[in-house]
Amino acid sequence: MKLPTIALLVVALSLGACASLIQTASISEAYKHYERQQYDRTLELITQAENSEAMSTDTKAELTYLKAMTYEELGEGEIANTLYEYLVQEHSNSQYGYMADKKLNSN
């Protein structure tokens, strides 16, 4: 490999690592703000995490579940239920699909 190719590869890998770190930090901060009942900020951080890079299926389910719980706390039950229904349909084999199903059946 030539030096410019190696340099480009290093830059690309570094950018990917930064995007992943930003997503992880946003998710962690979203949970902290949820616990503090700062729901508007929680939604902002969820959006930031969703937009930072391509997500795994598990991460998408996790963020959707946190978003549904946040809307539920904001009194937006219809939006929350729609998100729970999405999780049951699209992520039925995940823990978030299971927890969403329990939420829907307890209402």
Does the predicted TM-score (pTM) go above 0.75?
A: yes
pLDDT score of 36? 97
pLDDT score of 29? 95
Domain CATH number, residue 67: 1.25.40
Count: domains in the chain: 1
3-state secondary structure the chain: CCHHHHHHHHHHHHHHHHHHHHHHHHHHHHHHHHHCCCHHHHHHHHHHHHHHCCCCHHHHHHHHHHHHHHHHHCCCHHHHHHHHHHHHHHCCCCHHHHHHHHHHHHC
Domain that holds residue 88: 3-106
Name the stretches of the chain with pLDDT < 50.
9-17
pLDDT score of 24? 84
